[in-house]
Amino acid sequence: MSLPVLITGASQRLGLAMAESLLDQKIPVVITYRTYKPSVASLKERGATVIQADFSTEQAIDRAIAEIKAINKSYRAVIHNASDWAIDDKYENKDQLMAYMMRIHALVPYRINLALETHLTNHNLVADIIHMTDYVQETGSEKHMAYAASKAALHNLTLSFAKRLAPKVKVNSIAPALLMFNEGDSDHYKEKARTKSLLEVVPGAQEAVKAMRYLMQSEYITGQTLHLDGGRHLK
In this structure, what CATH number is given to the domain that contains residue 45?
A: 3.40.50.720
DSSP assignments along 35-95, one per residue = S--HHHHHHHHTT-EEEE----SHHHHHHHHHHHHHH-S--SEEEE-------GGG-S-HH
Q: How is the chain split among helix, strand and coil, in percent rounded to 5? A: 50, 15, 35
Domain count within the chain: 1
The range of the structural domain enclosing residue 205 comes to 5-234
pLDDT at 133: 98
pLDDT at 174: 98
pLDDT at 57: 93
- 3-state secondary structure at position 188: helix
Active-site annotation, residues: 147
Angle (nearest 5°) at CA 229 between 32 and 148: 60
pLDDT at 134: 96
CA-based max dimension of the chain: 51
Sort residue 47 into left (φ over 0), alpha (ψ -120 to 50) or beta.
Answer: left
pLDDT at 235: 83
CA distance 225 to 227: 6
pLDDT at 185: 81
CA distance 51 to 129: 19
Cα dihedral sign, 96-97-99-103: positive
Q: Are 134 and 150 in contact (CB under 8 A)?
A: no
pLDDT at 18: 98
pLDDT at 229: 95
CA distance 79 to 101: 18
Which parts of 144-205 fold into alpha helices (H)? Answer: 145-165, 187-194
Q: List phi, psi (to 5°) of 52.
A: -80, 125
pLDDT tens for the chain, 235 residues long, are 699 999 999 999 999 999 999 999 999 999 999 999 999 999 999 999 999 999 999 999 999 999 999 999 999 999 999 999 999 999 999 999 999 999 999 999 999 999 999 999 999 999 999 999 999 999 999 999 999 999 999 999 999 999 999 999 999 999 999 999 888 888 888 888 899 999 999 999 999 999 999 999 999 999 999 999 999 989 8
Q: pLDDT by residue (tens digit) across 53-69?
A: 999 999 999 999 999 99
